[in-house]
Amino acid sequence: MLAVVFSIYLPQMSLGHEFGAGAACLKCKDKCEGFELHFWRKICRNCKCGLTEHDVQMNTEENKKVGKLFEDTKFTGLIAKLKTDGLPGYPGSMVTITLPNAPMKSVTYEWAPPVPNKHLAVRYIQLLPPEKRPVAGTEGAVYRRQQMARQLPEHDQDPSKCHELSPAEVKKMQQYVRKYKEEALGVGDVLLPAEMAHVQAVRQGGGVAGAGGKPGSALKSFSCHHCQQPMQQGEPAVYAERAGYDKLWHPACFVCRTCNELLVDMIYFWKKGNMYCGRHYGDSEKPRCGGCDELIFSNEYTQAEGQNWHLKHFCCFDCDCILAGETYVMENDKPICRPCYMKNYAVKCSSCQTAVDPEAQRVSYDALHWHAQPQCFKCSGCSKGLIGQRFMVVQGFVFCSVECKKKILN
């Protein structure tokens, strides 16, 4: 009977867990046997690093994810209409750009702004910091891929990528996704400010001359909404429909307010006058679980160590046992249960060689530790207990006096 039940549930449990399986970890090298997704944390079971630390070719998945993000959104804006490729179809794959006036200068980008004017696209990329330019095969391409995973978590947009949501949680999440698609989500446009001024003038009903002084003068200032510095004459700027076309950004200034990273592929979330990446917009709206990294749509959750947690996810990072009501220790910002702590992290007493309990009193000197008990922290010469006494440490031994030291080390 049990076997039958499992054969029904197993395929569901592994939903979405096949992607990236077996990929080598770039950080742990051969210490990781290959990527294997933890059943609810978004990390590798073998080495505990994230998917982006593993050598996964993410392009098709990325494009699917971003395509889905823009599904059901309306890009009726003026600029979108001008686009030859027409969003929301997402062109996020490799582009090789050869500029007609610069022979031999053909460069492949993992992404470039989808504008018809290739010079503008290339100039936009040149205005980014060198280590963030999405040139294929460079650290900039790796940076973009990592930011893609970090800024736009799939589990912030797709309930099927979340772990065991209740029907009520699924409903709340769908409402949340609908809300940000209606109110916040957008993608930047790259234009010359002069071009934009022209487009705006045309839009304002006919001739530039007849538009009246006001909108024209507002566009004259051309200073960046992020750094307030002026735009350079003839250089491309980033515009965001949600923010209004009276605002513009230097390409390198189109960043998330919280993490200050370049908004990946210019995908932004606009809220109360600020730009956010998807992750930090989510954080501004909902608590995020420190265990599974998903936004929390349940009314019940717990706060511990300055983070929020699904009740079932405040678990030991090593063995996944639930920690509610248990003693735990924070190691590298991860909660660890007492048995795992004693086994894997606890310092050993230099005298009795057993682990020192996290709650036990201890004496520490440089890298040496002892139970704070007379039978452990004692003179190596005369065995006198040294708690609260003067002592000296020589070659890993503790002594009460020079005399005792001479007895042992001569």
Which of 277, 323, 386, 398 is in the footprint of Zn ion by CB under 5 A? 277
Asked if 250 contacts 243 with a C-beta cutoff of 8 angstroms, the reply is no
Contact status: 87 vs Zn ion (CB under 5 A): no
Closest to Zn ion by CB, 70 vs 268, is 268
* C-alpha span between 247 and 110 (Å, rounded): 27
Closest to Zn ion by CB, 133 vs 226, is 226
Closest to Zn ion by CB, 152 vs 177, is 152
Q: Which of 130, 148, 124, 135 is nearest to 251 (CA)?
A: 124
To Zn ion, the closest distance from the beta carbon of 176 in angstroms equals: 16
Closest to Zn ion by CB, 219 vs 292, is 292
Q: Which residues pair with 54 in a beta bridge?
A: 25
Which of 20, 32, 189, 308 is in the footprint of Zn ion by CB under 5 A? 32
To Zn ion, the closest distance from the beta carbon of 214 in angstroms equals: 24
Contact status: 262 vs Zn ion (CB under 5 A): no
Closest to Zn ion by CB, 14 vs 96, is 14
Element (DSSP H or E) covering residue 368: strand 368-371
Asked if 216 contacts 236 with a C-beta cutoff of 8 angstroms, the reply is no
Contact status: 349 vs Zn ion (CB under 5 A): yes
* C-alpha span between 186 and 341 (Å, rounded): 45
Contact status: 247 vs Zn ion (CB under 5 A): no
- Cα dihedral across residues 22, 23, 26, 30: positive or negative: positive
Residue whose tokens read 């600029």: 79
- Segment near Zn ion (CB under 5 A); pick from 14-22, 73-81, 153-161, 289-297: 289-297
To Zn ion, the closest distance from the beta carbon of 308 in angstroms equals: 9
Contact status: 134 vs Zn ion (CB under 5 A): no
Which of 121, 127, 149, 256 is in the footprint of Zn ion by CB under 5 A? 256
Asked if 240 contacts 270 with a C-beta cutoff of 8 angstroms, the reply is yes
To Zn ion, the closest distance from the beta carbon of 207 in angstroms equals: 32
Contact status: 404 vs Zn ion (CB under 5 A): yes
Closest to Zn ion by CB, 96 vs 364, is 364
252 burial level (CB within 10 Å; 0-12, 13-18, 19+): middle
Closest to Zn ion by CB, 44 vs 173, is 44
Q: Which of 248, 245, 273, 277 is nearest to 260 (CA)?
A: 277
Contact status: 47 vs Zn ion (CB under 5 A): yes
* C-alpha span between 338 and 105 (Å, rounded): 60
Q: What is the x/- site pattern for Zn ion, positions 192-221, by CB under 5 A?
A: ------------------------------
Residue whose tokens read 């949501």: 165
Total of chain residues touching Zn ion, rule CB under 5 A? 38
Cis, peptide link before residue 88, omega less than 30° from 0: yes
What is the DSSP secondary-structure string of 43-101? BBTTT--BGGGB----HHHHHHHHHHHTTT----SHHHHH-SS-TTS---S-EEEE-TT
Contact status: 264 vs Zn ion (CB under 5 A): no
Closest to Zn ion by CB, 60 vs 354, is 354
To Zn ion, the closest distance from the beta carbon of 113 in angstroms equals: 17
- Segment near Zn ion (CB under 5 A); pick from 89-97, 184-192, 199-207, 258-266: 258-266
* C-alpha span between 112 and 332 (Å, rounded): 37
Closest to Zn ion by CB, 89 vs 167, is 167
Closest to Zn ion by CB, 133 vs 378, is 378
Asked if 144 contacts 110 with a C-beta cutoff of 8 angstroms, the reply is yes
What is the DSSP secondary-structure string of 21-41? TTPPBTTTBTTS-S--B-SSS
337 burial level (CB within 10 Å; 0-12, 13-18, 19+): buried
Contact status: 280 vs Zn ion (CB under 5 A): yes
- Segment near Zn ion (CB under 5 A); pick from 56-64, 170-178, 316-324, 385-393: 316-324
Contact status: 310 vs Zn ion (CB under 5 A): yes
Element (DSSP H or E) covering residue 139: helix 139-151
Which of 218, 319, 324, 409 is in the footprint of Zn ion by CB under 5 A? 319
Closest to Zn ion by CB, 211 vs 259, is 259
Contact residues toward Zn ion (CB under 5 A) are 25, 27-28, 32, 44, 46-47, 49, 224, 226-227, 250, 253, 256, 258-259, 277, 280, 289, 291-292, 310, 313, 316, 318-319, 337, 340, 349, 351-352, 371, 376, 379, 381-382, 400, 404
